[in-house]
């Protein structure tokens, strides 16, 4: 029996539980989606071993690692046994000693675990190659408040291939984008999560993504993906400003007022001081509609300016009423089917 496997050789529909035996600090930077962190060394222990390796020697570092790890073996085996009957796949940074030793112990205990060739580093190399491959993309655009996320989810419910980039980034893309969201992943983890979704799609069919800038909050899109997005057809949904204001007010009225004010102040220089003061006054009076109208003037100006730079992109427009999401989704799905000659 082979105890090693490439990540891309693992069936995506198999009952697999990935075990990441790296230190928590490594895991938090980025890991395979769904992986469970069962570290062989804690952060401080890893640092201590690294210091010995650098200043004393390889053999001494190995002996220290062995001394630290041995008392943990029983606990690690117990935790992994509790994950059965899942297929156990173990990995560390480069598929080296940590995953090799744990995999050996697990197999000796009668559990047929495997380890990933090249470890997490190999996984990252493999998924980058997949992300960089050309895809049949269609970009969905629209001004702030157009409800693009709701439209994307509606399209997905109709069977279209959709990946919600802002959902993966835990950010809506504007200075207000962090509000009511979970903490953002690292850019590295975002790429891992994006690949996980991409791997579920059919490359022969259209994939719909929201039109995004290079940065979503603190997360950066992979440059090869961004280049493909900029070259793909762009379908812009156009909604009446009243519908957009109504949607934004619904999304943000439950938010702490100071959060809204703080976010508004981040664009003070471009918004101008008089307009900022009016926005703050309106928010303090719970007049969100008036505040929203001023802010949309700012966002629409920069949206139109950015759109003007898309000289070589195939751009089309679709007028939606913004009253009933199901009606808008159906109209959008028809437009996509027509523009791409796709049956989904």
Can you give the pLDDT at residue 343? 52
**Do residues 140 and 151 make contact, with C-beta atoms less than 8 angstroms apart?**
yes
Q: What is the pLDDT of residue 97?
A: 87
DSSP letters for 60-101: HHHHHHHHHHGGGHHHHHHHHHTTTTSEEEEE-SSS-HHHHH
Residues 6+ apart with CB under 8 A from 18: 31, 32, 34, 35, 36, 89, 90, 91
Within the chain, all domains assigned CATH 3.40.50 are found at: 135-340
CA atoms of 255 and 54, how far apart (whole Å) = 50
Report the alpha-carbon distance of residue 344 to residue 332 in Å, rounded. 13
CATH of domain 135-340: 3.40.50
Rounded Cα–Cα distance for residues 229 and 221 (Å): 10
Q: Range(s) for CATH 3.40.250.10 in the chain?
A: 4-129
For the domain bounded by 4-129, which CATH number is listed?
A: 3.40.250.10
Residue 236 CB contacts under 8 Å (≥ 6 apart), including other chains: 141, 142, 211, 307, 315, 316, 317, 318
Instruction: Encode the chain (344 residues) as per-residue pLDDT tens digits.
Output: 457 888 988 887 779 999 999 999 999 999 999 999 999 999 999 999 999 999 999 999 999 999 999 999 999 999 999 999 999 999 999 988 899 999 999 999 999 999 999 999 999 999 999 999 999 999 999 999 999 999 999 999 999 999 999 999 999 988 999 998 999 999 999 999 999 999 999 999 999 999 999 999 999 999 999 999 999 999 999 999 999 999 999 988 888 999 999 999 999 988 999 999 999 999 999 999 999 999 999 999 989 988 887 777 899 999 999 999 999 999 999 999 887 766 55
Q: Are strands 16-20 and 4-5 parallel, antiparallel or unpaired?
A: unpaired
pLDDT of residue 2: 56
DSSP characters over 247-274: HHHHHHTTS-HHHHHHHHHTTHHHH-HH
Instruction: Compute the distance between CA of residue 260 and CA of residue 242 in angstroms, rounded to an integer.
Output: 20
Note the pLDDT of residue 255.
Answer: 87
* Active centre residues (catalytic): 92
Helices within the chain (DSSP H only): 24-29, 43-55, 58-69, 73-81, 97-108, 119-131, 148-157, 165-169, 187-198, 223-231, 241-252, 257-265, 268-271, 273-284, 288-308, 325-340
Nearest Cα neighbor of 137 from 242, 11, 225, 7 is 225
């Amino acid at each position: 029996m082979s105890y090693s496997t490439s990540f891309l050789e693992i069936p995506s529909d198999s009952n697999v539980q990935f075990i990441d035996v790296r230190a928590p600090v490594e895991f938090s930077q980025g890991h395979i989606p769904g992986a469970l962190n069962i570290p062989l060394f804690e952060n401080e222990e890893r640092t201590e071993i690294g210091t010995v390796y650098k200043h004393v020697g390889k053999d001494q570092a190995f002996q220290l690692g062995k001394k630290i790890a041995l008392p943990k073996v029983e606990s690690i085996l117990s935790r992994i046994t509790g994950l059965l009957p899942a297929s156990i796949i173990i990995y560390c940074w480069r598929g080296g000693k940590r995953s090799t030793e744990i995999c050996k112990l697990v197999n000796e205990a009668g559990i047929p675990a495997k380890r990933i060739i090249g470890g997490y580093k190999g996984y990252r190399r493999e998924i980058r190659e997949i992300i960089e491959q050309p895809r049949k993309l269609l970009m969905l655009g629209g001004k702030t408040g157009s409800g693009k996320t709701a439209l994307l989810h509606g399209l997905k419910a109709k069977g279209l291939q959709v990946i919600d980039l802002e959902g993966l980034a835990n950010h809506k893309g504007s200075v207000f984008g962090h509000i009511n969201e979970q903490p953002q992943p690292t850019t590295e983890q975002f790429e891992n999560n994006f690949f996980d979704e991409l791997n579920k799609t059919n490359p022969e069919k259209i994939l719909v993504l929201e039109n995004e800038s290079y940065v979503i909050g603190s997360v950066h899109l992979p440059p090869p993906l961004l280049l493909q997005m900029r070259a793909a057809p762009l379908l812009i949904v156009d909604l009446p400003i009243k519908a957009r204001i109504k949607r934004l007010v619904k999304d943000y009225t439950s938010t702490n007022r100071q959060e809204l004010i703080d976010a508004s102040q981040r664009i003070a220089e471009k918004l101008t001081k008089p307009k900022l003061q009016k926005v703050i006054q309106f928010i303090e009076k719970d007049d969100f509609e008036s505040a929203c109208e001023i802010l949309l003037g700012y966002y629409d100006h920069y949206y139109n300016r950015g759109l003007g730079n898309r000289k070589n992109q195939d751009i089309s427009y679709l007028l939606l009423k913004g009253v009933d999401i199901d009606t808008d989704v159906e109209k959008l799905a028809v437009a996509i089917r027509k523009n791409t000659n796709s049956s989904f």
